[in-house]
Structure 1
Amino acid sequence: MKYLLSLLFIILLPGTVYGEDLGYAGYNKEGQSVGEKLSELKGDKSFNVYEQGGWTIASSQDGVMYSFTPENHPAHPAYVERRVIEREGAVYIDMSARCGASKAACDDLVRSFQELNKKIIQNMGG
């Protein structure tokens, strides 16, 4: 079985889109804030919320993980949501994020998670 990496980015970032296509279309003021999302997940019994290396992590049994940036992170306040999905024998990681920092800091955050996702897929034999 061949493992594939599929990144679906629904990134809500300030600023405009520049030359590099990281899969998002710019800033969207609508929707839930980073803090509101964290509060919601803390109240959701299907998520385990814990601290790891300064990051706040919320994970569920069904393969959903939110990673919230520490206060000293350049992209703070931000979170990255990843979902492990299996379709027709292939494993995908769908990813979305919300970031309230500068475009450059948010782009760096997205790139770091893209690299992490690639490593995860490689370790799975993909």
Structure 2
Amino acid sequence: MFILVLLGAIFAYTGITSEDVVDPFPKTTKTKPYVIKGLVERLSLDATVSMSKKQGWLVARSNDEKTTWSFAPENHIAYPAYIKTDKRVINDVIETRITTTCGAKRQACEQLVIDYKALPKEQPSRPTLSDIIN
């Protein structure tokens, strides 16, 4: 019984389902604009988070580079919205979990994901397995 509960807790923690594999768009959480603005404010005051701008997107990255929040530009149809990327090690494999928080209609939120994927990725900042474990 304990093993089943433990396995259930692990699956609940990762949040990874078969839907995440099939659906090209990450799970989207609906929210209100003031919630996102409050998150930006909290992250900007957090000493363990660095903030930067990339092609109009406000990017907040944890100093350990395990979590990144990418906030949509103010002129984006999904604004205010953000995409959160979490890197975790599960069974010695680096997994990336992407979630969106968007208060707009589904089509605008899907466009947010498309535009996010089109952003150039920063090659040097990709963590290695040992970076994530430590």
TM-score, reference length from structure 2: 0.61
Q: Equivalent of 1:64, from 67, 75, 90?
A: 67
Q: CA deviation at 1:112?
A: 5.0
How many pairs does the alignment contain?
103
Identity %, equivalent residues = 25
Query: Which is bigger in relative contact order (C-alpha 8 A, separation at least 6)?
Result: 1
CA distance in 2: counterparts of 1:56 and 1:90, whole angstroms: 29
Change (3 A) 1:59 1:23: closer
Name 2:102's counterpart in structure 1: 99
Change (3 A) 1:60 1:89: same
Name 2:112's counterpart in structure 1: 109
What letter matches 2:60 in structure 1?
A
Query: Could you list the per-position Cα deviations for residues 102-121 of structure 1 after superposition, in whole angstroms to 9, with x for gaps in the alignment?
Result: 221102223555688xxx9x
CA distance in 2: counterparts of 1:90 and 1:105, whole angstroms: 32
Q: CA deviation at 1:88?
A: 1.9
TM-score, reference length from structure 1: 0.64
| Superposition CA RMSD, Å | 3.5
Name 2:10's counterpart in structure 1: none
Give unmatched runs, 5+ long, in structure 2: 1-13, 18-22, 128-134
Check the 8 A contact 1:82/1:93 in 2, yes or no: yes
Name 1:85's counterpart in structure 2: 88
| Higher percent of residues as helix | 2
Give unmatched runs, 5+ long, in structure 1: 1-5, 10-19
Alignment of 1:1-126 (within 5 A): 8=16, 22=25, 24=27, 27=30, 33-62=35-64, 63-113=66-116
Change (3 A) 1:92 1:7: farther
Check the 8 A contact 1:82/1:95 in 2, yes or no: yes
CA distance in 2: counterparts of 1:25 and 1:79, whole angstroms: 10
